[in-house]
A and B are shown apart, each in its own frame.
Chain A
Amino acid sequence: MNLDRQTLCLLGGVLALLVVASIIGAFLKVRVQSERARRVVDNLNARTRAWWFMALFFGSALAMGRTALVVMFALLSFLALREFITLTPTRRADHRALFWSFFIILPLHYWTLAIAWYGLFVILIPVYAFLFIPMRNALAGDTEHFLERTAKTQWGLMIAVYCVSHAPALLILDVRGMPGGSGGNARLLFFLVLIAQLSDVLQYVWGKLCGRRPIAPKLSPNKTIEGLVGGGLSTVAVGAALWWSTPFTPLHAAGLSAVIVVMGFFGGLVMSAIKRDRGVKDYGELIPGHGGVLDRIDSICFAAPVFFHLVRWIWT
C-alpha cells in the first residue's frame, strides 16, 4: 500500500458519493409507479452497482502502484480494441496485422510506460505502428478497400491504445509543485479519471432533469445543451474544489477540468457517430447498464492526451 493521506481523502470522497447514490437509488426504487420510470430507475441502479465495481477496481490498482495501474490500463485497452475491431468490418487479409496490434504493439506500448521510456512511448504507435500496419496489409496482398481497412486498424490503435494510455502516462511525469512528491502523480491520474467520469454522470443527470434541446439528435439524443452546461459547470466546480490534491491553483484546476469536460464530451460524440454508422447502441455488454468498456472510457480517450500534454508543458 502506498496511499498517502490526500489520496485516501479522495477515495473516501468517492466512497461517500457511491453510498449516497446507492441510497438514492434504493429510495427511488420504492417510490416509482409507472413502468417507464421503473426502467429508468433500474438502469440507474445497474449503473451505480457497476460504478462500485469500477471504483473498487481502479482504487485497488491505485493502491498497488504504477505497475498495477499500467497493467490495468493495458487490459482496458485490450478490451476496448477488441470491441472496436469487432464492430469494424475487417477482411481475411487484415488478420496478421490485427494479431500484431493485439499481441505485440499493444504490450510493447505499455511496456514503454512500465519502464518510463517517454521517447518511444510517444512515437511507437503514431510512427512505427502507423507505417507497419499498411506494410503488413500490403504483404497480405488484398487491395480491396485497402486504405479504408488500414485506416480502421490504425484508428483502433490510436483511440483504444495510444490515447487511453496517456492517462497512466501521467505517472511517469516529473511534476513541479506536486504536494506529497512525485508519488502523488497517482492523484493526477485520479483527477483526470474522476473529472472525466463525473462529467459524464453529471451531464446525464442534468440532461435527465432538465434537458430540452439536443445538441446532435442524430448521433446522441440524450446529449442536450442543458445537460452539457449544467453538468459541465458542476464538474468544473468539483474540479476546482479538488485543487489541494494537485499541483494546480484553484483557477488552473477549474481550467483543466473545463478542458477535460469539453474533450470528454466530444469523445462521447465521436464514438457515438461510429456506433450509429454501424447501427448499434453500445460497443459491448461487459458493464451492466453502461455497455462496453469503450462506451465507458470514450471520454478519457479524448481527454487524456490533451490533459497529459498540458500538464507536461506547464508543470514539468
Chain B
Amino acid sequence: MTASLLASFTRLLTGVRTRWQGCAPVAEQRVYFANHTSNLDLILLWAVMPPEIRRRTRPVGARDYWEKGGIREWLARRVFHAVFIERHAVTRENNPLVPMLDALRDGDSLIIFPEGTRNPDGEVNPFKPGLFHLAKAQPQVALVPVFIENLNRVLPKGEVLPVPMLCTVTFGEPLRLAPGEAKPQFLTRAREALLALRPR
C-alpha cells in the first residue's frame, strides 16, 4: 500500500520516462547499478520497476545514513527491505560484501550505487570495488547499468523540497565479468557502460 503510493507519487512528480533499452523488465536475478546524484535516486529507480520485480529487488544503503530512525529507517526496513552496509570503519567482522552476498544467495536482486556517494553536479565518479567483488563471487548474476537523468535537479544535495522536473531512467545491456578480467579494467568498463546510457 505505502509502496505503491510512494511509487505513484514519485512517478507523478518526475513524469518519468522509462527506457528498457538493453534488457527487458523480467524478474530474473540481477544487480542494478546506477549513477547517484540525489536522495530520490533509490526511490525513483525502485518506482519505475514493475511490482513483480520490485518485490524481489533490495536496495543497498549505507547503515550510517539509513539507520537514523524515524521515517527514513521505517521506509528502508519496511518498504524497501534495504540491505544495510558499513561505509566507515570497515573491519573483517562488518565486511560490506557479506550482507549483499547473503541477499543474492537468497535469490533477491540488488540496487547499488557504485560511486559510493552522491555526485551533485550530475557527473559520474569512479566506481568503488564492491561491484567487482559481487561479479566475481556470483558470476551468474547479470549486472545491469541504469542511468538516471535529471533527478539531481529535482532534489539537489542539501535541499528538502523537490521541484518537479521530467526525468529519464534508462536500463542498459547486462554486463558480466570476463574470464581473467582484472578489477580496474572491469570497473572502468562498467562505468563506461553506464555513461553510454546518458541521453543526448
**A interface, CB within 8 angstroms of B:** 78-79, 82-83, 85-86, 90, 92, 95, 98-99, 102-103, 279, 284-286
Q: How far is the CA of A238 from the CA of B33 in the complex (A)?
A: 56
Give the interface segment out of B133-141, B159-167, B176-184, B186-194. Answer: B159-167
Cross-chain contact B156 with A92 (CB below 8 angstroms): yes
| CB-based closest 9 A-B pairs | A86-B166, A98-B163, A82-B164, A86-B165, A92-B156, A99-B161, A99-B163, A95-B159, A95-B156
Q: A86-B166, A95-B163 are in contact. List 13 more A-B contacts (CB 8 A).
A: A82-B15, A82-B164, A82-B166, A83-B166, A86-B150, A90-B153, A95-B159, A98-B163, A99-B161, A102-B163, A102-B164, A284-B166, A285-B17
Cross-chain contact B165 with A82 (CB below 8 angstroms): yes
> Measured between C-beta atoms, what is the minimum distance from B39 to chain A in Å?
14
**Contact residues in B for A83 (Cβ distance below 8 Å):** 166
**Contact residues in A for B163 (Cβ distance below 8 Å):** 85, 95, 98-99, 102
**Contact residues in B for A86 (Cβ distance below 8 Å):** 150, 153, 165-166
Supply 6 A–B pairs (Cβ within 8 Å), ascending by A.
A82-B164, A82-B166, A86-B165, A98-B163, A284-B15, A285-B17
> Measured between C-beta atoms, what is the minimum distance from B122 to chain A in Å?
10
Q: How far is the CA of A92 from the CA of B159 in the complex (A)?
A: 10
**Contact residues in A for B200 (Cβ distance below 8 Å):** 279
Chain A at the B interface: SS class: helix
A-B interface pairs (CB < 8 A), number: 31
Chain B at the A interface: SS class: loop
Q: How far is the CA of A86 from the CA of B149 in the complex (A)?
A: 11
Contact of A286 among B15, B161, B164 (CB under 8 A): B15
Q: How large is the interface on B (under 10, 10 to 19, 20 to 34, 35 or more residues)?
A: 10 to 19
B120 within 8 A of A: yes
Cross-chain contact B165 with A85 (CB below 8 angstroms): yes
**Contact residues in B for A286 (Cβ distance below 8 Å):** 15
Looking across the interface, which residue of chain A has its beta carbon closest to that of B153? Answer: A90
Q: How far is the CA of A85 from the CA of B167 in the complex (A)?
A: 12
**Contact residues in A for B153 (Cβ distance below 8 Å):** 86, 90, 95
**Contact residues in B for A99 (Cβ distance below 8 Å):** 161, 163
> Measured between C-beta atoms, what is the minimum distance from B20 to chain A in Å?
15
Contact of A92 among B17, B120, B150, B165 (CB under 8 A): B120
**Contact residues in A for B17 (Cβ distance below 8 Å):** 285
| Cβ proximity bits B139-173 to A, threshold 8 Å, 1 near / 0 not | 00000000000100100100101011110000000
Q: How far is the CA of A92 from the CA of B200 in the complex (A)?
A: 21
> Measured between C-beta atoms, what is the minimum distance from A92 to chain B in Å?
5
Looking across the interface, which residue of chain B has its beta carbon closest to that of A103? Answer: B161
Looking across the interface, which residue of chain A has its beta carbon closest to that of B167? Answer: A86
> Measured between C-beta atoms, what is the minimum distance from B186 to chain A in Å?
33
